[in-house]
Structure 1
Amino acid sequence: MKEPLLSIRNLSVTFATSRGPFKAVDGVDLDVAEGELVAIVGESGSGKSVAMLAVMGLLPWTAKVSADRLAFGNRDLLTLSARERRKIIGHDIAMIFQEPMSSLNPCFTVGFQIREAMAAHLDLSSAERQKRAVELLDLVGIPEPERRLKAFPHQLSGGMSQRVMIAMALACSPKLIIADEPTTALDVTIQAQILDLLLRLQKESGVGLVLITHDMGVVAETSQRVCVQYAGQQIEMQGTRGLFADPHHPYTAALLDALPERASGRLLPSIPGVVPGLADRPAGCLFSPRCRFATDTCRTVPPSRASAALGLALCHYPLKDGVPQHREFAL
């Protein structure tokens, strides 16, 4: 079997706070192959972005990252020096952030920022970097690319700025792109354009793509596999078609039930409560205070992971056709 581009096993990220350590990511596993699109979904506070920032090495000093395996190809990202990591990040692995206006430096033109990435990783002359920058802006659908390269970020719209971020990510022809909610700050029409652009570029170049999103509709249309996270934990991993047809974790089922196109009554279903933080984490299953199937066991005993046939659900009673199962079913 071909080795995945990105391989993560038991990834955890713990932050030091004034109230004690807080585990923002707890036991995440993920493989991403060349040409594959994997979606990571979950509410805000589920640790989606933090997990991928750990891969990029962009977390603050207060974060402690640990994993049984965190590898890009045959390179162990945990043991790389800062200098060695910088050769990979931005070249082989690129990230598109969700807020382009806060990710682009307001003091420099977009052309300077695109060329800066190439200067750090590619052996190109100044003229070659300029030519490549023009090609990139044209590739992502920005008109008059030569003129736009001279613009500052505040002179561009949100959609244009996000296209510049995508151009920067593509500048060094990466093998893996992490897109962190790349359409959150954009209106619906521009969202569709940006997603279509990302998918087209991904198919044409064959890069692996990790898409962090809240939009289950986007997930259904684009991804091959879906990782569902809740309160820092990976609670389900399934192929996209299987996940939408038969979700195995109650949280996944509740997310899908809340989709407008699945609602049957006058009121849109919702999940009561909020994602637990540092001070209100339950002793057992982290979803138990919000789960309609929760028992005393769920509230007091942390669950173990079910079999692959049940979506690797982190649940005492994973669902099958909407019905909770005893764990013997998974053995």
Structure 2
Amino acid sequence: MTLLRLRNLSVEFATASGRFRAVDGIDQDVDEGEILAIVGESGSGKPVSMLAVMGLLPWTATVTADEITFDGQDLLKMEAAARRRLIGKDLAMIFQEPMSSLNPCFTVGWQIREALRIHLGMGRRERQARAVELFEQVGIPDPVKRLSAFPHQLSGGMNQRVMIAMAIACKPKLLIADEPTTALDVTIQAQILDLLTALRDETGMGLVLITHDMGVVAETAERVSVQYAGQKIEEQPVGPLFRTPHHPYTGALLDALPERATDRHLPTIPGVVPGQFDRPAGCLFSPRCKFADATCKAQVPPALGPELGRARCFHPLNTDERVAS
């Protein structure tokens, strides 16, 4: 069953020099119990689409869509009060920077208990017992003592676990994890990913994993959506995507993995993701693509069929024609 459904989602930001489209016509589905990874370079609009779903974008953002539904509820028509009751309870998010997301003026225990009070109406003893249970669940030692700590008194890995505990406190149906392993050492990264996967297996929640780490994607995700300059340019199950990418950008991302390097020098993608003032007329990847021709630079490529990963490209990789040539 489809848990989250987005159709033609776009997000524009008002700037001093005009409007900038950070998300451009994205369609996305997330099923119950599924782990979907959204990948791409910085500037690809990965978190913005999910923040739009959460209703957490600043006033400078304009969100438009043909459809945004969650668990059968139309978020576009939902009143603000009803949406606030939903966000944090059934639809939760782990933010990228725990030190800037946690309130430095309150203990981590108070912040978790406050979420339980607002969303579940628990009494004081219930809240304390549930907070201890959550800390144990995410692997925080000596949970009773840690609940009395302020964010600055905990390590980055501990604060990330606190953020996960807060996000799963109300047993959400969908959890969005924005770069949950950023700035953590490899051992802690593995523990966090194992924890998220175990929570999915235990509760059946859907999980959206926003990351630029293709190694994390290979080990954790079931389906992968590749974004570039605000557009979704390819989507496949994780196995086929790694074996036979169809968009040249996806292929270039995979070629840049250290374990795939065949030479002393690691392959890179020249140039940068286009911004507000340097967006090309045709394919947004054309200035950086070695396969681009005059058509690519002048016309917007259509999305291809599911057999080609719905890649938005005039010259997809790993087709019979490309192999034959």
The TM tier, using the shorter chain, reads over 0.9
Cα displacement (A) at 1:319: 1.5
Report SS of the residue matched to 2:166: helix
Instruction: Return 201-210 or 173-182, whichever deviates more.
Output: 201-210
Cα displacement (A) at 1:185: 2.0
Query: Could you tell me which of 71, 86, 89 is aligned with 1:88?
Result: 86
Report SS of the residue matched to 1:117: helix
- 2:275 is aligned to 277
For the residues of structure 2 that align with 1:272 and 1:110, how far apart are their CA atoms? 43
Percent sequence identity over matched residues?
A: 69
For the residues of structure 1 that align with 2:103 and 2:321, how far apart are their CA atoms? 51
For the residues of structure 2 that align with 1:224 and 1:5, how far apart are their CA atoms? 16
Cα displacement (A) at 1:184: 0.6
Cα offsets for 1:127-165 (capped at 9, x unmatched): 101110000001100111111000000000001000000
- 1:153 is aligned to 151
Cα displacement (A) at 1:322: 9.1
- Residue 293 of structure 1 contacts residue 324 of structure 1 at CA under 8 Å; is this kept in 2? no
Mind listing any 5+ residue stretches in structure 2 that lack a counterpart? Answer: none
Correspondence list, 1:1-331, <5 A: 2=1, 4-321=2-319, 324=322
For the residues of structure 1 that align with 2:8 and 2:285, how far apart are their CA atoms? 20
Report SS of the residue matched to 2:5: strand
Cα offsets for 1:246-272 (capped at 9, x unmatched): 001000000000011111111000000
Cα displacement (A) at 1:221: 1.2
Cα displacement (A) at 1:192: 1.4
Cα offsets for 1:54-99 (capped at 9, x unmatched): 0100000110101111110111111112101001100000000111
For the residues of structure 2 that align with 1:323 and 1:254, how far apart are their CA atoms? 19
- Residue 3 of structure 2 contacts residue 71 of structure 2 at CA under 8 Å; is this kept in 1? yes
- Residue 34 of structure 1 contacts residue 207 of structure 1 at CA under 8 Å; is this kept in 2? yes
Give 2:149's aligned amino acid.
Answer: A
- Residue 193 of structure 2 contacts residue 220 of structure 2 at CA under 8 Å; is this kept in 1? no
For the residues of structure 2 that align with 1:91 and 1:229, how far apart are their CA atoms? 28
Report SS of the residue matched to 1:129: helix
For the residues of structure 2 that align with 1:322 and 1:226, how far apart are their CA atoms? 23
For the residues of structure 2 that align with 1:292 and 1:83, how far apart are their CA atoms? 50
Cα displacement (A) at 1:321: 5.0
Count, aligned residues: 323
For the residues of structure 1 that align with 2:75 and 2:218, how far apart are their CA atoms? 31
Give 1:138's aligned amino acid.
Answer: E
Give 2:211's aligned amino acid.
Answer: T
Report SS of the residue matched to 1:79: coil
Give 2:133's aligned amino acid.
Answer: E
- Residue 99 of structure 1 contacts residue 185 of structure 1 at CA under 8 Å; is this kept in 2? no
Report SS of the residue matched to 1:11: strand
Report SS of the residue matched to 1:26: strand
For the residues of structure 2 that align with 1:210 and 1:170, how far apart are their CA atoms? 14
Cα offsets for 1:8-60 (capped at 9, x unmatched): 11110011111111110001111111110000000000000101100100000
Cα offsets for 1:206-256 (capped at 9, x unmatched): 110000011111111111100000000000011111101100100000000
Mind listing any 5+ residue stretches in structure 1 that lack a counterpart? Answer: 326-331
Cα displacement (A) at 1:114: 0.2
